Structure 1
Amino acid sequence: MFTGLVQKIAIVESINSHHGDLQVIIKSDNDFISSVRNGDSISINGVCLTAYNVDKDNKCFSIDISNETLDLTTLTQMSTGYNVNLESALSLNDKLGGHIVSGHVDCMAQVSEIQEDARSYRLSFVLNNEYYAKYIVKKGSICVDGVSLTVNDDIKDMFFVNIIPFTWDNTIMKYYKVGDMVNIEIDRMALHIEKLMLNND
């Protein structure tokens, strides 16, 4: 489990393909890598992956990305030098500052607009799968590339968020361009409630 509070922007150092799936080396810094151990779950752009070959001297670790994960997420876009959001898994004594995030991406969305608003930025997204639009509600939580955000508004398959300066400066959102694809995780509470209601019918 994660909180959607990104801890570090890291860089893809290398990518190797093995029968279609990928082995990727992520380069971070001492602040992040010092607490990473082999087998730890790490959120990378909102995708829960397992760290191994942790090299604290060179400040890097490896991850494997399966074909299924590549099919369902934006990680196919990664290349050497690509920036990614990192978050370590939630510990029982950690503060839950964002919302509960599983690291299981539901769908993707396209950045459709970026507007400056005083010191913040207003972003709009279009879902690539309209099915998930029903779970997105005004003032509800949503996870975009591993970032916990509050939905300002939603219209059909679109939703809108406001990015404060701290989030903009400390996540890969500052690199977004119109047309970019992002990973979306719906608030798990909505999915569980729907299933419970359907089972009670």
Structure 2
Amino acid sequence: GLTRTSYTGDDVFIAVSRPAGSPANRPLKRLDVMALCTNRDLAILDDTPTLTLETADPVEAVRLLGALRPPQPAIPAALPAGAEGESRADNLAWRLVAQLSLNFLSLAKEGRGVDPLHALLDLYADRGDPSLARNVHSITRIDSRPVIERLQIDGPMCFGRGTEVTLHVDQSVLAGQST
């Protein structure tokens, strides 16, 4: 038979309160919550679970929106320090800051363009999906060059200036994978 996994899940509690100084004389009429709720690892032990709602709540249907995947652990606030003394959380925070300040000039630098793009795309790739990491790292080179082209608009002839960015992809990394 199937045995339970080591996944213990997380508990989340929501408290509803009013901002300081706001009047309490108006009752709360609506609360919108979008939540993913499961029975921890039970959902991943069955490929085709039967979803039911065991209350008399006015819910029309309960259905699976996508394929079940093993849950990914949350990144705790304090993680062990790395080689430079920074925690993994610090590293992720700095990666996010770097992503927010990234612009086309860092992509345009000769020979360095692919590393910032890999770092940016790795932020968004699901850590539990190796095919996404393969897609990201199949990009081997970035070329960029300034371009000036005629704009196809009504009226007098106009030209636009920009940067053409070309991504070079190693197709062998993606062999055997449907994307």
Quickly name the TM-score band, shorter chain normalised: under 0.3
Where is the strand percentage greater, Structure 1 or Structure 2?
Answer: 1
Question: What TM-score, normalized to structure 2?
Answer: 0.22
For CA contacts below 8 A with separation 6 or more, give which structure has more relative contact order: 1
Look at both structures and tell me which one has the larger radius of gyration over its CA atoms.
2
TM-score using structure 1 length: 0.20
